[in-house]
Amino acid sequence: MPLARIPRARRAVATLVGLAATVLLTAAAVPSADGGRPAYRDPRLPVPDRVDDLMARMSLDDKLGQMVQVERKAAGPQAVADHRIGSVLSGGGSAPEPNTPQAWADMYDSYQRAALSTPLGIPLIYGVDAVHGHNNVHGATIYPHNIGLGATGNPDLVQRIGAATAQEVAATGIDWSFAPCVCVARDDRWGRTYESFGEKPENASAMTGAVTGLQGEVLGATPSSVMATAKHYVGDGGTTGGDDQGNTEIGEQELREIHLPPFREAIARGVGSVMVSYSSWNGEKLHASSYLVNDVLKGELGFSGLVVSDYDAIDKLDGQEDFTPDEVRASVNAGIDMFMMSSRHEKFIDYLRAEVEAGQVPAERIDDANRRILTKKFELGLFERPFAQRDLLPTVGSAEHRELARQAVRESQVLLRNDGVLPLAKDGGKLFVAGKNADDIGNQSGGWTISWQGSSGDITEGTTILEGIRAAASGSEVTYDRHGNGIDGSYRAAIAVVGETPYAEFEGDRPDGLGLDEEDRATIAKLRASGVPVVVVTVSGRPLDIAGEVDGWNALLASWLPGSEGQGVADVLFGDHNPTGKLPTTWMRSFDQLPINDGDGKDPLFPYAYGLSYD
């Protein structure tokens, strides 16, 4: 059997074997040309033949259902079966109770059992935003967000993180990750800047190994293969003013030179899906752009996988609440294959059926979408081994994965200023630690962590930066006060861990400023007033407007959003790892310079690719 046809090696638990056998027998009763098992049930046949056979048995309603991906809160297992829904997702924070890996696997299997109980027994595919680890799941390993990974300049590390994430995702049954984001962030005001590997197409193109990490060399060929998604197609990082879901007002040449190359690289790696951007290009919504989806993506770039909408993006074409038949028709005809929806899946199916029956959406377009969707399901091996791969559950939050995350954290640290205070000695004298981000795993993980926007506090398992400092400086007395109260001249150094608190997407847009908040400034002022050397560590999803303050600091370390393994920051502060990170984006001298990018003639505070070391 050719390698491309090897199914995903999922192994169902013993308690589900009997049920799976029953489902197969039920599906086998569907009439076939030779009176035996339907051809689509035969794993020995090439995938295109299996797809053709299955599609010949599908009704229009079967096909329309396959084009829907619905949020789990809006449709339980029976509703998914009743409407022949092709896919389910958990949006940010949409988790079972309790939020444990085992409960995720149980939830997934309940949906899959329902899908398999339908006459044709077409398995569903389940998607999540596993954008920096399996970040919806309590106890999963949380890796640095992409901006930090971009700072590492280490594509092999990013591929290994993809593979480790895939293990944790597959363990809970999930088949599909909406990652990697290969956007090129050109304006730090944008609330998704941290989802970008950097401001140049080369940054994201180099890190498309994340696709290979998630999927493996061939989709479905390994036990933990999870379908990857290149997003958001195309130009979302170039909107005017950094406005999330805004308008990218550039010519086609710039679109092709800056924003398209990472998608070309992801397609070359065999990425299974592409997610279309909420944003517009010169006033035209991407979800209605037949030219960019049908002609460029599917035609010119030869993308043969499935194109998925963003969450409820179909609602946004006309700027009004809810979606209309016109929006359904426009987006389907533009080349969207599967529609991600928070709810109202029944209305979507009704509208699309009416458009097909009226000849406004060609039957060939419906068939093209189904062929793309079903091909990925067959390649993943879901028809043979549809249930959660529970033998991988011990990998979720494992010591091995946390050590990989720690490596990523230390390699992502960018040393921007140092008068000799760093590296800190591990013993002798006292250290003072302050700042709202020093002892807060939620803050250091950022958005898309347990919930959509993320949140402050002890939201998941891991090690805070403060805990990492204390472990590294076990021979020193370490005092912590969030606000810097109690510091005096007896300390040999003070570390202020400051910056942003969690956000995601448009709620993170900052059109009015990117400076430190009042609390951070007051904390740093107290530390400086003591007369001891002050090391400032910024925890943020982008460069901050600090030029007016940095001259008073003895050292500045950009830690980005490191995730669950704060020891990696301490590894650099105390010299166990020489800082090697380089800026993946130009650091503004003032907010008024934005947008600022390498080569635009503006004078930055720190240039693109800048980063000091201890050597």
Catalogue the active-site residues.
310, 505
Q: How far apart are CA 65 and CA 125, in angstroms?
A: 12
Q: Which residues contact 197 (CB under 8 A, 6 or more apart)?
A: 146, 147, 149, 150, 182, 203, 204, 206, 207, 584
User: How buried is residue 142: exposed, middle or buried, by Cβ count under 10 Å (0-12/13-18/19+)?
Assistant: buried
Q: How far apart are CA 573 and CA 122, in angstroms?
A: 53
- How would you classify the pairing of strands 339-341 and 68-71? parallel
Tell me the three state secondary structure of residue 71. Answer: strand
* Cβ–Cβ < 8 Å for 434, 469: no
Cα 424 to chain center, whole Å? 34
Q: How far apart are CA 69 and CA 473, in angstroms?
A: 49
- The residue written with tokens 């105390």 in the block is 574
User: Which amino acid, 39?
Assistant: A
Q: Of 306, 313, 371, give the one whose Cα is nearest residue 337.
A: 306
Q: How far apart are CA 567 and CA 444, in angstroms?
A: 12
DSSP per-residue codes, 151-175:
HHT-HHHHHHHHHHHHHHHHHTT--
Q: How far apart are CA 191 and CA 512, in angstroms?
A: 12
Find residue 339's DSSP bridge partners: 68
Q: How far apart are CA 50 and CA 24, in angstroms?
A: 15
Q: How far apart are CA 170 and CA 208, in angstroms?
A: 20
Taking phi over 0 as left and psi of -120 to 50 as alpha, with beta for the rest, 601 belongs to left
Q: How far apart are CA 238 and CA 184, in angstroms?
A: 7
* Cβ–Cβ < 8 Å for 19, 113: yes
Q: Of 274, 173, 181, 264, give the one whose Cα is nearest residue 226.
A: 173
User: How buried is residue 158: exposed, middle or buried, by Cβ count under 10 Å (0-12/13-18/19+)?
Assistant: buried
Find residue 233's DSSP bridge partners: 276
